[in-house]
Structure 1
Amino acid sequence: MILTPAAVVQAMPASPDCAAADLALSFDGRDGAFDGMQHGGTLMVVRNRGAGRCRIPGLPRITFAGPGGGALPIRFAPPPGMHPGPVVLPVSLAPGATASAELRWVSGDAFPGGRCYRTTTVRVSFGAAALDAPFTEQFCGPAAGAIFGQSWLTPGKG
């Protein structure tokens, strides 16, 4: 029997979406590997702490809040040429498995007339599931707000 691509897809069971209670979120600065020349960054690590396999979007939505709890004008900047944005497949996580993504931003006041924002919290949304975590960093950008870069989640790193 020869399997066609359609048969292979049908043979793979779909994983349900992960619930927030099944996920753990952490950040790893890799001992400053992301920092330098007025830039900052971190490795975001998501772990499935649930009992079964589940899936999360490969490019979760990330928002940042400041000391008052309100959302800060810090937005995701898709890679050039990816309009209206990258199409990224979901990531399936077995129990105990991880996936990670790099986050990068300008951390120094390098913009004439620009602004810097101090974050206190990050919210990472995986569709209906969302996780909040402490996140104390400085993001800088032009007067209209700061931007950050985000790679898609890669299984098995972190």
Structure 2
Amino acid sequence: MTFAKKLHMPLILMGGVLLGFTSMAHAQGTPVCGARQVTLSTSDGEGMNGMSHAGTVLKLDNHSRTACSLPAMPRLVFEDARHRTLKITSRAIPGMHPGPVMLPLTVLAHGSVSSEVQWVSGDVYDHSACITPAYVTLQLDNQELRAPFHGGRMCGPQDQGPTYQAGAFRRLP
């Protein structure tokens, strides 16, 4: 295991990525986005769906008069209709593990950011496990934002379950 991996793993396991970003955001003078000032929505995946793959765009809108910050990489949890957590895990984007250090992103007052999320949607594995989430939850510091999930089913090998890849948040014009 490389030094970078040794250094990176405890941060992820302890949730320190968010804690680290929170500390950095406060140090820069921009408060962390709170669940009361931002809203989360998802697209229907138009333009992102293809052969055995699907996707959605997560959109985060700051409806307050104050800029706020959030981690550059979204941490997501998928839930069923009863809000029970589903076994769907994040998969690192090639070239992003452990990846570059990504500073928090400032969401301007009345501004918006988005992240593209993609996954396998087809029964393409020898022994597939497919799940259809009802909700997606974005974890922000010690808060959560939940939105209906319109992306359809997510599939993966039966022994691992479905996985997804989420890109970094970026500002929208």
TM-score (norm 2): 0.77
- Assess, with a 3 A threshold, how the Cα gap between structure 1 residues 42 and 19 changes in structure 2: closer, same or farther: same
Tell me which residue corresponds to 2:119. 105
Equivalence for 1:70? 84
2:70 paired residue number: 56
Q: Counterpart of 1:149?
A: 165
Distance 1:135 1:39, change over 3 A: same
Q: Give the 3-state SS of the residue equivalent to 2:36 in structure 1.
A: helix
Give the CA RMSD over aligned residues: 1.8
- Give the 3-state SS of the residue equivalent to 1:82 in structure 2: coil
In structure 2, distance between residues paired with 1:124 and 1:19: 12
Partner of 2:44: 29
**Contact 1:18–1:129 under 8 Å retained in 2:** no
One-letter amino acid of the structure 2 residue matched with residue 145 of structure 1? G
Displacement of 1:86: 5.0
Check the 8 A contact 2:42/2:147 in 1, yes or no: no
How far apart in 2 are the matches of 1:14 and 1:88? 17
Question: Secondary structure, in 3 states, of the residue corresponding to 2:51?
Answer: coil
Tell me what 1:138 maps to. 153
Relative to its length, the structure with more helix (as a share) is 2
Aligned-pair distance for 1:60? 2.0
Alpha-carbon separation, structure 2, partners of 1:13 and 1:141? 40
Residue deviations 1:56-102 (CA, integer Å, cap 9, x gap): 11112101012343211111101234334553211111211011110
Structure 1: give runs of 5+ residues left out of the alignment.
1-11
Based on CA coordinates, which of the two structures has the bigger radius of gyration?
1
Count of residue pairs the alignment pairs up: 145
- 8 Å contact kept, 1:78–1:86: no
Q: Distance in 2 between matches of 1:121 and 1:99?
A: 19
Whether the 8 Å CA contact 2:132–2:153 is kept in 1: the answer is: yes
Tell me the CA shift for residue 13 of structure 1.
5.3
Give yes or no for contact 2:78–2:137 (8 Å, CA) kept in 1.
yes
